[in-house]
Structure 1
Amino acid sequence: MDTFSESEIARFYNGRCVFITGGTGFMGKVLVEKLLRSCPGLKNMYLLLRNKKGLAPRQRLEQLLNDKIFERIREENPKSLNKIIPISGDITVDGLGISQNDLNQLVKNVSVIFHSAATIKFEEPLRVAVNYNMLGTRRVIKLAHQIPQLEALVHVSTAYANCDRQKIDEVIYDPKITPQQLIDAIEWMSDEMIENILPKLLGARPNTYTLTKALAETMIMEECGSLPVAIVRPSIVTASRREPYPGWVDNIHNVTGIFLASSKGVLRSLYLNSSAVLDIIPVDIVINLMITVAWNTATKPQNSILIYNCSSGMLNPITIGDIEKYTFPLAIKYPCSEHFRYPGLTIRSNRFLHNVFVLLDHYMPAYIFDTISALTGGNRMMVRIYEKLHKATEQLVFFATRQWQFKSTNIRDLQEQLSEVDQKTFCFDVKQIHWPQYLEDYYLGIRRYILKEENSTIPAARKNLKRLYFTNKTIEYLIFFGLFNAFMYRSGAGSYIWSSAKSKLFDFVQSQV
């Protein structure tokens, strides 16, 4: 008997149809791939797709299925890809922009809904964030009410929806403003008025993303009625631990962007608390939990909405200092083929000292590079890159300098209900994460899936990095001794030290030849 026939969760999906919003996003792709591969009895999968960049939904689906993430399925069971049916629509439009014919198809066939579509831009204007994260959720709820055989609606929130609290239980907290009050207010307020009241609306929250995700949870509680609903709250979602491939990632958001920028020698200083726990969670763990939660919601009806805080910080913590210790050697062991400078990231807890190094080690080299580039007919880009990088890292500072305690009783209870087969097939046990191995796979994943550099290029990249190291050290010596010569050469002691230093520089050069 094969594994999937032994899996109670996989059997649940036999003959059933699912509807997914956000299916082309980072998490959505992993969800689609995992369902197709691990639940082969699934009947059909409907993906909500909008027109984007001149591509119609059908074209976007073809583009999606050519993604590297589906390579394993294309090799093992290509016919399963025919189960994916594009539904033309838009989360930001009333009725989800779905045609009547498509609506009839969903109402007739769908049993499970996974709602993961959202804007994840932290600094999104409030009006836009409300439309995506709150009104989008309302539109999905309205659709769910029309589906008579709906067995589960899994809503993806965030562990930081209630980041204004230190201890976060698996409950929906009462908001200071109701969802409808906020929706009504932004309908008549000008953008200027919204900006003026935003600090008060946010309170201790850092951005519109966490605010609107929290209010979306309240909206679900108020409007779902008797619908079978569950909420999954992941923390900082990062590259896959195991599936579809170790280290798979397709974007440069949050931690991935920092790893990439530091490996290329661009990011040199980062203002964080080294002793703080960075609550990262591999994307495949989140997806396995979502699939399992849908099964549990359908087969074991609850009297209330169950919340699942999907995080690692309480059960298998890793500090920022540990991440720094594990990852810096990886930038040398698995270097990328091209660098701006030799890798050398330092985590600093002193804001003033960090700002000094940002000026000296970020902006000064960037302006020098852009000046030389402009004089030689090239593009000025490094200053712009640093401006974007600093904005992105500042957004992470709030989450990487504070600590939260996420209660995860529901996840532990769910884990205990699973058979041995399902615990392995749909693993969401964060205690099984071995951080050094995971981070190594993460780095290799960035090389392969973001930079498109195969492992076969590593030996040549190491040689390039060694030459870069030699060049950097030579420049550093020349600058230091040049300055030293300018200020001290005329003194007898300075002359002696200068001669000795030149001898050491000569020995160093000889050792590298």
Structure 2
Amino acid sequence: MLNGNHSSHQRTNGLTHAAAAAVAASYASAGSGIGASAGSVGMSTAGGASAAAAGINAALLNAAPATALPSNGGLQLPYERYRADDTSYVPIGQFYAGRSVFITGGTGFMGKVLVEKLLRSCPDIRNIYLLIRPKRGQEVSARLTELLNAPLFESLRREKPKELSKVIPISGDITSEELGISESDQTLLCRNVSVVFHSAATVKFDEKLKLSVTINMLGTKRLVELCHRMMSLDALIHVSTAYCNCDRTDVSEVIYAPPYNPDDIISLINWLPEDILDQVSPSLATLENEHKFQLFSLLFHLQLTPRLIGKRPNTYTFTKALAEHMLLKEAGNLPVAIVRPSIVTASLNEPFAGWVDNFNGPTGLVSALAKGMFRTMMCEKNYVADMVPVDIVINLMIAAAWRTATRKSNNLLIYNCCTGQRNPIIWSEFVKFAMSSVRKHPLEGCLWYPTGDLRMNRPMNTLNCLLKHFLPAYILDGVARIMGKKPFVVSVQNKIAKAVECLEYFATRQWRFKDDNVHGLLHTLSPKDREIFIFDVRNINWDKYVERYVLGFREFLFKQRPESLPASRKRMVRLYYLHQLVKVVAVLLTWRFLMSRSKRLNDMWSAFLENALKIARLIPFL
């Protein structure tokens, strides 16, 4: 991990320079073949590509981790416990009174809950500025109106409609220079904002490296540059992920040295073509000249993205780790804290239980289970399923900003917002609770009776996927075509398979996320603030939570009202008996098939029946 060091950071551009030199050499090699025949061009460019690949691979292998940066985070002990006689204590709601907040990612899953919570629990907050990107010809004001009309803000619209006018859209784009914010809006933010929440990120596990770096790293860097210009900034809260250090088993609340200097990675993605970075193989038919052929050959030899991310499973965790390191370097004397949630799931209580607006992570898989379309996956059933409700994370973020502003410190504090240490649930328990809930509160139009198994035997899991996922999918789509309807089940199964593949890495491994800072922060709050801003994960009753989770995605994702439950339950009973009938028929057909193929088995079965009949005759009442 990084050590405290107040010397200036020494940039190591060896990776970028070595890569540049290697590919430049390959270009020179390719250039020597200009005017030659197609065959000679192929030979010269392939040789150049091999040299380039060797050069970059050597650079990757030899690149040293970035040097230590000042203040790597860590636990501040002892945390000052709340005392009733402490006259200096400022309640969280009072702290936010009269302050303006700037939020990136405010239209995302977590951002929406953050906006709603600030408006509802900090009624004297001055303004909330949301960075919103115009899209599909829709202005930011229209997007804001759409956001505030969502079910999430229903209670505010009904009880405190004036609070919604405090939300002000800021047109911008996290991928653009200066965040795409106009000069006048930058001035507005720099004059008025005192708390910043940075939750904008691409959370797609299979995102292309270039876009992932642009959003998760460059976006963070550009935001920090803006924060340095803010006249009265008291807190900057950066939302990371507990899995940014998934290459190690024990994860403390510190920033660990990344495999590469973040500036080198940014330079690399700005310099290399996207098809090389993301390994999108061009068609040979499109290789119009030797330059393109050279790129294809280099791509074939290189496989750059997997080499860069190393032991991490995807570009998301890789860029999030680098973003933390870069934040530590760029922040300087800014008051910064990092919140690292694990797998963020539906709300526990606020603004109402079970709220969720996307199919990411476990939500999509449990939804597929509820539909009867998902039955098997690779998972270590006794490992901890470290997931945390979204409102727990948001309450912690709000409290962390309060703590950062009111207790000045030279350390950048990190909060691992997880459940595995204080209130763990293992995967088998989660699946058991989910199975019970989806049967108790079934979805309309359920295709089959929900069942499922967790396995660590890959061949067996693959066989079950073919028999239980794709075989029924092709049969149902075939029936749909015969009936003149549009087939869709195979397409859905392909999407489920992709989602399962992304989650498999996290379901077959286990981590220990230390959360001492979170626990310490909890004890600094007054009893009233603990009731308003709940982030004590020990209060989660997993059985009840999963049931509310299922009811939540039933209502908010599938738009199914509680009034439809009686009819859905009747359908579930029919599906249960149909499921049992199919199992009996499958066993009988399998047995009949084996009997017809094996005389020995047939003889054994006949002998068994004959002996059973003799024994039965010895029983008096028979």
- With the length of structure 1 as denominator, give the TM-score of the two structures: 0.92
Report if aligned partners of 1:14, 1:39 keep a CA contact under 8 Å in 2. Answer: yes
Amino acid at match of 1:13: Y
CA RMSD of aligned residues (A): 2.0
- 1:133 lines up with 2:240 in the alignment: no
1:252 equivalent in alignment to 2:355? no
Distance in 2 between residues matched to 1:485 and 1:411, nearest whole Å = 61
List per-residue Cα deviations over 1:274-305 (Å, max 9, x = no partner).
Answer: 00001000100000000001111111111021
**2:370 matched to 1:263?**
yes
Check 1:438–1:483 CA distance in 2 against 1; reply closer, same or farther (3 A cut).
Answer: closer
Moved over 6 A (4+): 489-494
Cα distance, 1:376 vs structure 2: 1.8
CA distance 1:376–1:309, change in 2 (3 Å): same
- Displacement after TM superposition at 1:350 (Å): 1.4
Query: What amino acid maps onto 1:45 in structure 2?
Result: I
The C-alpha deviation readout for 1:424-448, integer Å capped at 9, x for no partner, is 1101111111111111111111111
The residue type paired with residue 98 of structure 1 is I
C-alpha distance in 1 between matches for 2:456 and 2:113: 35
1:108 aligns with 2:191: yes
State the distance in 2 between where 1:463 and 1:381 align.
25
CA separation of 1:422/1:93 partners in 2, compared to 1, >3 Å: closer, same or farther?
A: same
Contact residue 378 and residue 507 of structure 2 kept, 8 A? no
Residue 344 of structure 1 pairs with residue 451 of structure 2: yes
2:294 is aligned with 1:197:
no
SS at match of 1:103: helix
Q: 1:284 aligns with which of 385, 391, 395?
A: 391
Equivalent position of 1:320 in the other structure: 427
Q: Which residue of 2 aligns with 1:181?
A: 264
Residue 539 (structure 2) aligned to one of 432, 452, 477: 432
Contact 1:7 1:421 in 2 (8 A): no
Change (3 A) 1:425 1:367: same
Give distance in 1, aligned partners of 2:575 and 2:250: 47
Which residue identity lines up with residue 184 of structure 2 in the other structure?
N
User: How many residues are treated as equivalent by the alignment?
Assistant: 493
Aligned counterpart in structure 1 of residue 230 of structure 2, from 147, 169, 174: 147
Determine which of 171, 174, 179 is the counterpart of 1:88. Answer: 171
Aligned partners of 1:247, 1:301: CA distance in 2, in Å?
36
Which residue matches 2:93?
Answer: 10
User: Residue by residue, what CA displacement relative to the aligned partner does 1:370-423 show, whole Å, maximum 9, x if unpaired?
Assistant: 111122221221111111111111111111111111111111111111100011
Q: 1:485 to 1:413 in 2, by over 3 A?
A: closer
Q: Secondary structure at the match of 1:270?
A: strand
Q: Is residue 35 from structure 1 mapped to residue 142 from structure 2 by the alignment?
A: no
SS at match of 2:408: coil
Gap change, CA 1:272 and 1:479, over 3 Å in 2: closer
> How far did residue 215 of structure 1 move?
0.5
- Residue 308 of structure 1 aligns to a residue whose secondary structure is strand
Aligned partners of 1:170 and 1:307 also within 8 Å: yes
Whether 1:275 and 2:382 are equivalent positions in the alignment is: yes
Displacement of 1:473 after TM fit? 3.5
2:383 paired with 1:300:
no
Letter in 2 for 1:200: R
CA distance in 2, matches of 1:163, 1:483: 45
CA contact (8 A) 1:276 1:403 kept: yes
Contact persistence 2:212–2:316 (CA under 8 A): yes
In structure 2, the partner of 1:168 is: 251
- Which residue number in structure 1 is paired with residue 207 of structure 2? 124
1:208 equivalent in alignment to 2:284: no
- Does the 8 Å CA contact 1:265/1:345 hold for their aligned counterparts? no
1:485 is displaced (CA, Å) by 5.7
Residue in structure 2 matched with residue 158 of structure 1 by the alignment: 241
Partner residue, 2:102: 19
- C-alpha distance in structure 1 between counterparts of 2:326 and 2:586, whole Å: 61
Q: Which position in structure 2 is the counterpart of 1:388?
A: 495
Q: Which residue of 1 aligns with 2:504?
A: 397
- Paired amino acid for 1:15: G
1:185 is displaced (CA, Å) by 1.1
Mean alpha-carbon deviation: is it higher for 462-471 or for 159-168? 462-471
> How many angstroms does 1:480 deviate by?
4.8
Q: Report the counterpart of residue 443 of structure 1 in structure 2.
A: 550
- Is 1:236 the equivalent of 2:343? yes
Deviation at 1:454, TM superposition (A): 1.9
Corresponding residue for residue 298 of structure 2? none
Give the superposition deviation at 1:482: 5.4
Aligned-residue offset at 1:76: 1.1
Q: CA deviation at 1:169?
A: 1.2
Q: Is the CA contact 1:229–1:297 (under 8 Å) kept in the aligned structure 2?
A: yes
2:486 is aligned, of 376, 379, 385, to 379
Q: 2:151 aligns with which of 68, 93, 104?
A: 68
> Which residue of structure 2 aligns with residue 55 of structure 1?
138
1:271, 1:348 within 8 Å by CA — same for their partners in 2? yes
Amino acid of the structure 2 residue aligned with 1:35: L
Tell me the secondary structure at the aligned position of residue 15 of structure 1.
coil
Report the Cα distance in structure 1 between the residues aligned to 2:587 and 2:511, rounded to whole angstroms. 45
SS of residue paired to 2:220: helix
Amino acid at match of 2:209: L
After TM superposition, give the deviation of residue 168 of structure 1 in Å: 1.0
How far apart, in 2, do the equivalents of 1:201 and 1:28 lie?
30
The AA in structure 2 aligned to 1:226 is N
Relative to structure 2, which stretch is displaced further, 81-90 or 51-60? 51-60
Q: Does 1:421 align with 2:504?
A: no
Secondary structure, in 3 states, of the residue corresponding to 2:347?
A: coil
Query: 2:519 maps to which residue?
Result: 412
For structure 1, the residue ranges without an aligned partner over 5 or more in a row are 1-5, 498-513
Counterparts of 2:313 and 2:541, CA distance in 1:
31
Rounded Cα–Cα distance in structure 1 between residues aligned with 2:101 and 2:406: 16
Structure 1 partner of 2:616: none
Q: What is the distance in 2 between the residues matched to 1:488 and 1:153?
A: 72
Q: 1:375 to 1:292 in 2, by over 3 A?
A: same
Cα distance between partner residues in 1 of 2:582 and 2:237 = 56
Partners of 1:7 and 1:422 within 8 A in 2: no
- Alpha carbons 2:127, 2:166 under 8 Å: kept: yes
Say if 1:216 and 1:482 are closer, same or farther in 2 by CA, change over 3 A.
closer
Larger radius of gyration: 2
Q: Structure 2: how far apart are the matches of 1:430 and 1:18? A: 26
